[in-house]
Amino acid sequence: MPNIDDFAAYLQNERRYSVHTLTAYTNDVAQFFTFISNQYKTEEAAEVNTPMVKSWIYDCMQQELNPRSVNRKLSSLNTYYKYLLRTGTLEKNPLATISGIKTSKRLYQWVEEKDMGKLLDFEIFKQDFGGRRDKLMIEMLYGTGIRRAELIGLKVSDVDLKGQTIKVLGKRNKERIIPIPVSLVHAIDEYLQIRKAQGFSHSNLILTDSGDAVYPMFVQRCVKNHISMVSNISKTSPHVLRHTYATHLLNNGADINAIKELLGHASLAATQVYTHNSIERLKTIYKQAHPKS
């Protein structure tokens, strides 16, 4: 199996991939070379041809992997071979003529506006440090559309209460400034005061009860528990609140290009999925209200 440490360093230092993405890409490449070693008795990248890659795709599908997961693996391997071409290690990419697997369009789930109102307006949060923190996490995710990793990495110094903005470090270390509503400014200010009273001085904004930085599963549990109180949607991850943020903005007339910038998307195509959500909503309204539906 080829040494992929240099590839990993390239992803981290030049492509600025997150640790999660870097791990996924290197694991995908390692799995591919384990497959061709078992099937074709070779571990040389230069000996890999297009039929070998196609047989790997077929094997993945036989394992009933989600087509999106298979496409992700293909993207990982394609990035690896492009890296080899870039460094002059190889002169040909065996994936050059291979297209991804067709997938159905995915309509993201989101929380209805009335349900978000219930969640944020009703007194379901305790008034102690933990309750204020949990409510702030929900408000931050819904009020800014930031990703879970961005929330976890947010520093106290990234918050400008006077300017009503936060500075977010997104994917590939790209910074963006996001405006925050007055209600969120007040929520952050109140949280910082009670946090100070706890004697916490960590540079990260959102902390656990013991004063440490929160971690992915901590945020996941908080969001799941609270969304489940007001909505019966099947998915209750922190990313659902990001979808909710974008969908509500679009439904209330926000420009899609502005939403793209707020979300930190690299291309408009990633943002346009929310137009499908809005179209489905309009279809539902039409079916319910129009006499000819």
Domain locations in the chain as residue ranges: 5-86, 113-289
What torsion do the CA atoms of 138, 139, 145, 148 make, to the nearest 10 degrees? Answer: -40
Residue 289 has pLDDT above 70, yes or no: no
CA-based nearest residue to 69, from 81, 57, 82, 80? 57
pLDDT of residue 281: 61
CATH architecture of residue range(s) 113-289? Orthogonal Bundle (1.10)
Given a cut of 90, is residue 38 above it in pLDDT? yes
For domain 5-86, which CATH number applies: 1.10.10.10, 3.40.50.2300, 3.40.50.300, 1.10.150.130? Answer: 1.10.150.130
pLDDT tens readout for residues 228-237: 999 999 889 9
Q: What are the catalytic residues?
A: 147, 171, 239, 242, 265, 274
Calculate what percentage of the chain has a pLDDT beyond 70: 91
Please write the tens of the pLDDT for every residue from 83-123: 999 999 999 999 999 988 887 666 678 899 999 998 887 67
The whole-angstrom separation of Cα 169 and Cα 264 is: 10
C-alpha 67/C-alpha 99 separation (Å) is 12
Report the pLDDT averaged over residues 185-192. 95
Lay out the sheet containing 175-179: strands in order across.
159-160, 165-169, 175-179
CB 264 within 8 A of CB 239: no
